[in-house]
Amino acid sequence: MKRILMLFSLLLLAGSLAIGQTVQISGTVTSSEDGLPVPGVSVIVKGTTIGTLTGTDGKYILAVPQGSESLMYSFVGFRTFEALIAGKNVIDVTLETDLFKVDEVVVVAYGTQQKRDLAGSIATVKGDAIASVPVQSFDQALQGKAAGVSITMPNGALNNPPVIRIRGFNSITGSSYPLVVVDGVPVFTQNVSQTRAYANGLADINPTDIESMEILKDASATALYGSRAANGVILITTKKGKGGKTSVTYDGYVGYTEPYNIFEVMNGDQYLEEKNVARTNAAITTPLVRALDANGNPIDTKWSDFIYHKGFQQSHNVTFSGSNATTSYFLSVGYSNQDGMIKNSSYIRKSVRLNIDHKLNQWINLGANVGYTSGLNESPNTGSDFSTAGAARLAFVLPSILGPYNNDGSYNINGAAIGTQGTGLTGISYYNPAPIFDKNRYTNQTDRVIGNLYASVEPLKGLVLKTAFGVDNLSSESTEFLTGLTGDGFSSSGNAWNSFYRPNRWTWTNTINYNKTFNEKFNLGLLAGVEEQSTKSNQWTAEKATVSDPFFEVYQGSWVTARMGGGSIGENYFISYFGRANFNYNKKYYIEGSFRRDAFSGLSADNKWGNFGGASVMWNASNESFVQNAIGSIFSDIRLKASYGRVGNMSGIGDFSSLYLYGSGLYGDIPTLAFSQIGNSALQWETSDKYDFGLSFGMLKDRIQAEISYYKNDINGLILSVQQAPSKGIPGGTIPQNIGAMTNTGLEFSLTTYNYSTPNFSWTSTLNLSTLKNEVTALAPGIDYLVGVTGGLETTNRTVVGEPIGNLFVVETHGVDPETGRRIYVNAAGREVLYRHEITAQRWVYKDDGSVSPAITLAGDGKVWASPLPTLFGGFDNNFAYKGFDANLGLTFATGFSVYNGSKAGLRDQRFWNNSVEVYETYWRTQGDVTNIPRPVYGDNVSNGSAIPISENVEKGNYLKVRNLSFGYTIKNLPEATKISKIRLYAQLFNAFVFTKYTGSDPEVSTNGNANLTPGIDRNSAPQARTYTLGVNVNF
Amino acid sequence: MKNILKIAAAFILLLTAGCHKEYLDPVPQTSLSSLTVFDTKDRVEAQVNGLYDGLKAAQFLGGRYFVYNDIRCENFIPKSSNLVTGYSTWNNSVITSTNEVQNCWAAGYNAINTVNIFIEGLDESWNAGKLTGKITDAEYNQYISEALSIRAICYFNLLQLYAKPYSMNAGANPGLPLRLKAEKSSENNDLARSSVAEVYAQILADLNSAEGKAIANYATSVLNVTRVHKNTIIALKTRVYLHMGNWASVVSESAKIVTATAPYTAPSGVAFLLNPSYTNIWVAPYTSRESIFSMPATSTDNAGSQNSLPSYYFSGATESYYLNTAAGTAYATMNAADVRKTSLTLASGNYFISKFTDYTNHANYAPVMRYAEVLLNRSEALVRQGGSVTQEAVDLLNAVRTRSFAAGAYNLASFPTVNDFYTLMIEERAMEFLGEGIRNMDLMRLGLTIPAKNGGSMGSVAAIPPTSTGYIWPISAQELTFNKLMVGN
């Protein structure tokens, strides 16, 4: 408190220094397009923050300090205009529309800059580009919008956080996920749910509240985030009030979502026929039979009908905003209720936001940006990987000759598993989705406040002191109920589990900013700051089992057994000092340097502090007269940029990773203590040296704007959990050490063209292309590779030096031997081996001479096969407007990568599992058949890749997606009485089509979510969702 | 300009002065620092219990270890082909990278290192006098004794799966890497395998040392069953010597805890005694005097689903194992009147053992050793030592047999040859210890072939002769990778 008082007295003191004589200037601002007055235009005395806004009539009056040279007029959508005062008292101005958006201001670390003054690499996506996309969180809509930014939806489960990679993978055991900063507050990201219902931390930011998203890519742009900058930074800026009068908007849509590319599996007849052939081939003498359903028909169940449906979605947002000379405000209320394509999955968000900014006087500015969001996620176990309850898997694994219900209407169950209804099937441990969907429940409720309060003073011209205190307070409550009837809760006779997770963070940032122009040509900007960030998290769970009465479905009900709860407490703290200096000579030669010194509590005393920084230079060739004279008629703008910097990644460092710890547990009912963590006092941040070279240019008066960048990230000191010999008995088996190295290099190209821009018809295209070459250059000494394991069971990836991270690792197969119908494996020595499941004594034989071969194993015969990282990806957006009509076509694409289609292994597995229709139609029947499906042998879990991943199931993932397709019509000039200035009606199709040769559901997939070592795995993941919406935007 | 500098300097000074330096050194609230774990007797005692907790790991003696030793043999058939629940072990297709091969190895050695770290830490504090007045000499000795016993149990159990039996080549085959020092850093990954004989020598050295330091008994029956005392160690030694074929030592060790005549009991220390009812051994609180050493479990502390013994043997569990009823199996051998047979559970046409039925809470204790085994160990050793069947041996065998099958008493005439005795003894042990992890150990120590089995739709498995590489498990792939001196089986 004492400090705050001191601070304010200082601010007041500072404020009293700025006193002088003034003259009054007034005028009207009009638009060149229609000659009408423009309200809300910012009029500022050049080189100061003294200014005002035009009123609804476009008029302004401003007290200007004597001796001021000129006034700057700026407004969104218009090119900034500078008017010399030269003793005038009335200055009328006509603003030209900024058709090609060259005067945009972008948000940078701890400030803003003119887009054209940026030497660092920053991509901007405007909020309105994503506002009406029917997604749960804005990051889902960012795909294909910015060069160098790869966004992958792991699957179609509702509110599942996308995998975000900015310029490649930047860590191995830590996270490669970027830092996200909302209005200056670094926020909690990724999944914040403790249960099966996903809760994307970023869904708590209502997409319609977002003004802009800046993606900082190179070290020059990110250096001010120091130890957290290596993965890139996404800055989210929420909307501010603008324009002279109060603006009221309503945005809403309704629609539905559905899965696409659901696997087509064998129906009852096909199943019976194929499996009985397989049984005969396995010398099983009892064929499977099929019972009749209640209507007397043979049972034939399409299980996907019990999993998927069309989910209804709706969203409504109302905003009020406005501003006057001293105060601007933006208030929004949002409600979104989305049902997923998987039954029983839904997401409801209720949000409010208030952003306010007030000029107390000429020197003091106060404001706040506060958002509150309540999110309710509900979902069944949607699967991915190997869970026997996973809905996505149940949709295709269950035999179609089993029914969900018995003929008396009861559930067809046998203990935890589905009942076999006299079919002769045995050994089924999968669940019946009908009772599970009816009874089991997974929910997550988040309540969140993200906000900051700030005050700034400008005691002297160009000098701004700012203090901002931000919080991200998240409460996340998860619940699970598992019925004791069947399924996961069967063994415990019913089970209720609740968890509460509360990560809280405060960030206090204090900066000094000084901008000055000397001699009209030397432009200097200085920034210095101190930032503290404290994060505490607290999580606990409680569990009860054996329900007293089936009536109870909540933890608070009556249960027989209390289970031991669990939980964790985390705490960390950053203190940082940072500074930036930028300088340009006459907007021609630019140089900028940034520095940050961070201390992080999780490291040992000797290693707490780290230094990070970056520098950039830029040459604006188009401001050179010799260049202008030579090619100025074609090139309206040419800039060359270069930057270098070193930033860090601390995501792999735990809160207490430097300490030797003992954990406690139980031995029966006696407490225990045991060595649980080897402290590593040598642990440090991972460091990333980033190089960036860029060329940007504008052609034909900026009708064509392009940017080409080459980047290289050298990442060193990667923290690897160095595997110890298991016989050492180290807790967890690994010790983290800074030993790995990796590089990412790539080219980025982005091109915006204003193909047509007449008043009646306009067409704008934005293309971005990115290449990525990732290479792991060092692993721990003595470690030749790192394995990536899917679902804790299947080794699918291997990371080796000299190759990209996470290569797919499989045993090579050469299709099916037409002579015998056996799968042909290739052993480590390159010799072909056949697998014969039913000949148990001699399953593996050499193809050439029929002699017995040792069993093929993944460890012994596996090969590093293909990279799952796209080498080229991007997006192509087209916006059309014709009179009142508008249309958007958004394409995304990726090529040069492979996907391990593990679901295909399941779809061909010859146990009781149902198979794809492809198996039924093309399995090997007689000698000479050329096919991919071997002779079916009941119980064979090897020939198709379930037991050992095989190259047969690795496919090229190249795809082109119609990500977004929308048509709209805007009605203007409504009668005054309606008080409506504009209505836009639109229809939108999100995730419309995929063009690919990939045979799985969708090549855009990540069964293992955000994990670095297991990309490109498609194992029982839910398909992607397609969403149809009809919407309306109304401006009052 | 001066003003600017002044203001800036004041501003920065003000802000830096206030930072929360103490926040840079947070203290965990849910774990203890290594510096404080020998501060009080309670903490030392908690660490001793932590050693047992290591032994009780779900992948080890908490459940799965016993399961592997039964299902790789002929008496059980799985309901499910789930690889997570031991199917590869059942159909003898485990390889170096199979989960159970790697997990069991890691769990065993985790327990060993926990012991080594404890012994090193305790000795350090003890020798530095930091424990003076906190624990007595006797307590110090007792803790060391328990630690050594646990280490011996770990090595003995790992030997049974990962090394050839002692009887082959007199223990000269590769055994295990002998880790006897605390490992707390990234050093020392490489360590070669000691021979089987060397590992046995270490086991005996630990047990002998432990026996001299051990407590005679604890205050409660739960502790007597779940912590090691003097008679536990002696009982374990009878098993170790039996596996080494050192019959004389089995006889001499067992004499310490088996009276000359029935009712057999341990004359001093914890008075082991056969429980009158076979079925009651498996009923809570699982602490009869027959239970020499068991891993406790409660509803809050258990091996959990897919690991606990009920997950593998309870009739209602989805992935459990039922009895193979083919000729020659324990089921087929049991007399219809034998309680061990009549107490089986029939479900969906299959027979399940009824020893571990608390599938809801997974709270059945996992029996490491029962007094019945000591009696049978002694009986067998007496005969093998002397080369002829003696009345004492028959009486000991009958004590176990007739408890469940009153009409089944043997007499000397039941064994025309000494080999008949050996055969019936192994059969008896198979029937008595179904589901207790003894079967594989018995086959191994005698170098017997693991019989073939037919699991119907689960497939059939050929017999595994001692000459087969599959007779023992392969070494963990991770060990082979990260311990450069390790060689495989």
Task: For residue A572, give the nearest of A548, A599, A547 by alpha carbon.
Answer: A599
> Using an 8 Å Cβ cutoff, are B134 and B40 in contact?
yes
CA-to-CA dists, residue A151 to A384, A648, A721, A891, angstroms? 19, 22, 27, 13
The per-residue pLDDT for A74 is 83
| Interface contact flag, B114 A737, Cβ < 8 Å | no
| Interface contact flag, B110 A672, Cβ < 8 Å | no
Which has the higher per-residue pLDDT, B361 or A747? A747
How many whole angstroms separate alpha carbon A872 and alpha carbon B42?
61
How many whole angstroms separate alpha carbon B377 and alpha carbon B373?
6
Q: Nearest residue of A to residue B183 by CA position?
A: A728
Task: Report helix, strand or coil for A1002.
Answer: coil
Chain B positions touching A418 (Cβ under 8 A) are none
The per-residue pLDDT for A18 is 42
Task: Report helix, strand or coil for A902.
Answer: helix
| Interface contact flag, A3 B96, Cβ < 8 Å | no
User: What's the token pair of residue A716?
Assistant: 């060193």
Q: Nearest residue of A to residue B185 by CA position?
A: A678
**How is chain B split among helix, strand and coil, in percent rounded to 5?**
50, 5, 45
Work out the widest C-alpha separation in chain A, in whole angstroms. 106
Task: For residue A226, give the nearest of A543, A691, A610, A708 by alpha carbon.
Answer: A610
Closest by Cβ to B113, choosing from A3, A459, A728: A728
Domains and CATH numbers, chain B: 41-291+309-354+368-482 (1.25.40.390)
Closest by Cβ to A733, choosing from B106, B112, B177: B106
Best mutation target, A673, A790, A852, to test chain B (most B CBs within 10 A): A673
Q: Nearest residue of B to residue A654 by CA position?
A: B28
Closest by Cβ to B49, choosing from A672, A725, A857: A672
How many whole angstroms separate alpha carbon B272 and alpha carbon B173?
36
How many whole angstroms separate alpha carbon B418 and alpha carbon B385?
11
Q: Nearest residue of A to residue B299 by CA position?
A: A563
Residue B171 zone, left/alpha/beta (φ > 0; ψ -120 to 50; rest): left
> Using an 8 Å Cβ cutoff, are A92 and A31 in contact?
no
| Interface contact flag, B46 A17, Cβ < 8 Å | no
Q: Does B92 touch chain A (CB under 8 A)?
A: no
Residues 23-52 of B with CB under 8 A from A: 23-26, 28-35, 37, 43, 46-47, 49-52
Q: Does B315 touch chain A (CB under 8 A)?
A: no
Rg (CA), chain B: 26
Closest by Cβ to A729, choosing from B28, B114, B300: B114
Residues 218-257 of B with CB under 8 A from A: 222, 226
Closest by Cβ to B114, choosing from A545, A656, A674: A674
Residues 425-484 of B with CB under 8 A from A: 456-462, 476-479, 481-484
Closest by Cβ to A729, choosing from B112, B300, B457: B112
Fold of A2-98: Immunoglobulin-like (2.60.40)
Beta bridge partners of A1033: A251, A984
Chain A positions touching B46 (Cβ under 8 A) are 664, 671-673
Closest by Cβ to A668, choosing from B83, B114, B298: B298
The per-residue pLDDT for B15 is 62
* ipTM computed for the complex: 0.92
pLDDT for residue B278 is more than 60: yes
**Residue A644 CB contacts under 8 Å (≥ 6 apart), including other chains:** A219, A220, A614, A615, A616, A689, A690, A691, A692
Closest by Cβ to A532, choosing from B20, B47, B116: B20
Q: Does B67 touch chain A (CB under 8 A)?
A: no
Q: Does B181 touch chain A (CB under 8 A)?
A: no
Domain boundaries, chain A: 2-98
CA-to-CA dists, residue B193 to A294, A339, B187, B411, angstroms? 64, 59, 17, 45
Chain B positions touching A599 (Cβ under 8 A) are 24
Write out A926-990 in H/E/C secondary structure: CCCCCCCECCCCCCECCCCCCCCCEHHHEEECCEEEEEEEEEEEEEECCCHHHCCCEEEEEEEEE
The conformation of residue A724, written as its DSSP 8-state character, comes to P
CA A30 to chain centre: 42
Closest by Cβ to A427, choosing from B16, B81, B461: B81
Q: Does B316 touch chain A (CB under 8 A)?
A: yes
pLDDT tens digits along B473-488: 999 988 998 898 999 9
Q: Chain A to chain B, count of Cβ pairs less than 8 Å apart?
A: 288
**Residue B403 CB contacts under 8 Å (≥ 6 apart), including other chains:** B274, B276, B277, B278, B339
Closest by Cβ to A534, choosing from B23, B84, B296: B23
Chain B positions touching A667 (Cβ under 8 A) are 49-50, 52-53, 56, 226, 296, 301
The per-residue pLDDT for B8 is 65
Best mutation target, A727, A779, A796, to test chain B (most B CBs within 10 A): A727
Which string of DSSP letters, residue by residue, matches A596-618?
Answer: EEEEETTS-GGG-EEEEEEEEEE
Closest by Cβ to A530, choosing from B15, B84, B482: B15
Confidence at B17, pLDDT banded by 50, 70, 90: low
Could you tell me the sign of the dihedral formed by the alpha carbons of B210, B215, B216, B218, in that order?
A: negative
Beta bridge partners of A996: A959
User: What's the token pair of residue B387?
Assistant: 């080369």
Q: Nearest residue of B to residue A1 by CA position?
A: B18
Residues in chain A with pLDDT < 50? 1-19
CA-to-CA dists, residue A32 to A70, A82, A107, angstroms? 21, 15, 28
As separate numbers, helices (DSSP H) first and strands (DSSP E) second, chain A gives 9, 54
What is the residue-averaged pLDDT of chain B?
A: 94
Task: For residue A478, give the nearest of A589, A565, A386 by alpha carbon.
Answer: A565
| Interface contact flag, A793 B84, Cβ < 8 Å | yes
Q: Nearest residue of B to residue A280 by CA position?
A: B457
Chain B positions touching A465 (Cβ under 8 A) are 7, 11
pLDDT for residue B115 is more than 90: yes
Instruction: Check whether the bond before B285 is cis (ω within 30° of 0).
Output: yes
> Using an 8 Å Cβ cutoff, are A1025 and A156 in contact?
yes
Task: Report helix, strand or coil for A29.
Answer: strand
Please state which of the ranges A477-481, A557-561, B379-383, B448-452 shows the lowest mean pLDDT. Answer: A557-561
> Using an 8 Å Cβ cutoff, are A822 and A816 in contact?
yes
CA-to-CA dists, residue A163 to A126, A1005, B289, angstroms? 21, 10, 58
Beta bridge partners of A570: A537
How many whole angstroms separate alpha carbon A807 and alpha carbon A798?
5
The per-residue pLDDT for B2 is 61
Chain B positions touching A535 (Cβ under 8 A) are none
pLDDT (mean) for B394-404: 97
Task: For residue B13, give the nearest of A609, A3, A918 by alpha carbon.
Answer: A3
Which string of DSSP letters, residue by residue, matches A806-871?
Answer: TEEEEE-EEEE-TTT--EEEE-TTS-EEEE-TT-GGG-EEETTT--B-PPP-HHHHEEEEE--S-S
User: What's the token pair of residue A735?
Assistant: 């010790």
Task: For residue A777, give the nearest of A172, A163, A228 by alpha carbon.
Answer: A172
Angle at B472 between CA B469 and CA B476, to 5 degrees: 100
Task: For residue A780, give the nearest of B102, B482, B484 by alpha carbon.
Answer: B482
How many whole angstroms separate alpha carbon B192 and alpha carbon A444?
51
How many whole angstroms separate alpha carbon A802 and alpha carbon A867?
12
CA distance to partner chain A, nearest, from residue B24 (Å): 4
Chain B positions touching A428 (Cβ under 8 A) are 80
Q: Does B18 touch chain A (CB under 8 A)?
A: yes
